[in-house]
Structure 1
């Protein structure tokens, strides 16, 4: 019985099989990421191990690792330390962080949800924000990474909020949520994951333990935000209601007027607000925006390290 033939590649064949360029393969060799080929006369011969290594490098690059980090991982592998635990940890972190499933929506359905007329500018902004995704070769349908997020936008639009205001609010909210995520990650890294990831690369056992901890802690961030958001919404909604529906007004009398001052604003600002909410809503909009900014700065001040110290 004859043994199976082991595939052999010239560098051009290896590039074709792996999807890398010849220049990239040579660059990996120079960096020590790829073992040297076997020399046969004037030719260099590569084998399945080289192809596997190239695919492994491509996968780690897609997951956001730098070449320097990949080199450390591969050196650990080459010295006999397994990468199973590390790759398991990578898969855990890169896995879904929500049970929500992506969906699709046709252009006709999208138009029907948002006013009945196609708004190319709004669609472009939604794609830029990642609310919609283009489907290659299909101009009549879009991918929807988060159907819940799109549904929220549709409800706000139906309630009278302009699309430009919805997009602006999403940008602002996303920045604030990313800040919360960053702080939670720093917190858990300092107090939990440092013990597993203190040496690079971690051992298989430490990586397995860290992956298990990710599974346990993953829902905690969302649960904490849900609880705190509900608390803050109740607090500010109660205050807002008290400010706008004072006791005197509820009793049928005219509430005492607050001290009012005149503030000069650029004409361009007034025009922009009028286009957004109409001439009758300019004063209320600017007052609400100012109050929200004051509340935001107060919360930022309370959450700052200097305040906690």
Structure 2
């Protein structure tokens, strides 16, 4: 796929011998952020002419991609990893890939919004602000500015309610979900990094093929977890029974 390099923020001629202020104006990235990206290793240091630092087209293109990736939610470490693996010839394609990845590519449920009061009522008053904060920190729900709560996985909420019906206190249920979230986050990061490393090893990136691969990765990843967890659960149960025998 022959997508041109990431364009700069406007249609001015190619950046040559720009001061940091001129580069900021051209790309729409603040001087402060340009310096921060340079310190973080995402941007090469400027060429010096006496005490004046001068920037060129490579800096403008890198900043355009950094800004796009940051807008799509990518962190500094993820962007550094991309620059370390992807040649400049594929930067333009990375924009399309980033937009695909930052959408709801992996989401399988539609979140629902409930009031904090109704959520507390479901748990007979057990849902305290502290427990809600823990669930939000684990990434299972989100507190909205208007005081309502967004359940990111309604099905997971139903599982929690069923556990409560079995007599488990809400604090224990949230503790179980926190452990599950940490473990699955580690698995997800490994899967995604493996996919990303594979996609960034070539000299060109087919954005359409990449989006298709990522979309197929979701059911494969969830299927693998669903298949492995019962086996591991039984093994751990056997081990627990063996220790208490």
Q: TM-score range by the shorter chain?
A: 0.5 to 0.7
Residue by residue over 1:81-134, the C-alpha shift from the partner in whole angstroms, topping out at 9 and shown as x without a partner, is 243433344444444313212232211211121114652222222222222322
Residue by residue over 1:59-99, the C-alpha shift from the partner in whole angstroms, topping out at 9 and shown as x without a partner, is 334413244643764xx43xxx2434333444444443132
* Residues 1:63 and 2:74 aligned together: yes
Instruction: Tell me the distance in 1 between the aligned counterparts of 2:81 and 2:220.
Output: 32
TM-score normalised per structure 2:
0.62
In structure 2, the CA distance between the partners of 1:23 and 1:212, relative to structure 1 (3 Å rule), is same
In structure 1, the partner of 2:152 is 145
In structure 2, the CA distance between the partners of 1:297 and 1:11, relative to structure 1 (3 Å rule), is farther
In structure 2, the partner of 1:222 is 222
TM-score normalised per structure 1:
0.52
Instruction: Indicate the SS of the match to 1:152.
Output: helix
* Residues 1:86 and 2:97 aligned together: no
* Residues 1:123 and 2:132 aligned together: yes
Over aligned residues, Cα RMSD in angstroms?
4.8
Instruction: Indicate the SS of the match to 1:83.
Output: helix
- Residues 139 and 181, structure 2, Cα contact 8 Å, conserved in 1: no
- Residues 103 and 145, structure 1, Cα contact 8 Å, conserved in 2: yes
1:20 Cα deviation after fit = 4.4
Which consecutive unaligned segments of at least 5 residues does structure 2 have? 1-10
Larger relative CO (CA 8 A, sep 6+): 1 or 2?
2
1:57 Cα deviation after fit = 0.8
Structure-to-structure mapping, 1:1-309, within 5 angstroms: 20-26=29-35, 28=37, 33=43, 54-61=63-70, 62-64=73-75, 65-67=78-80, 69-70=82-83, 73=86, 76-77=87-88, 81-95=89-103, 96-116=105-125, 119-136=128-145, 138=146, 140-178=147-185, 180-181=187-188, 185=191, 189=194, 197=200, 199=201, 202-205=202-205, 209-229=209-229, 236=234, 292=237, 294-295=239-240
Instruction: Tell me the distance in 1 between the aligned counterparts of 2:197 and 2:241.
Output: 32
Rg larger in structure: 1
Residue correspondences, number: 222
Instruction: Tell me the distance in 2 between the aligned counterparts of 1:24 and 1:181.
Output: 30
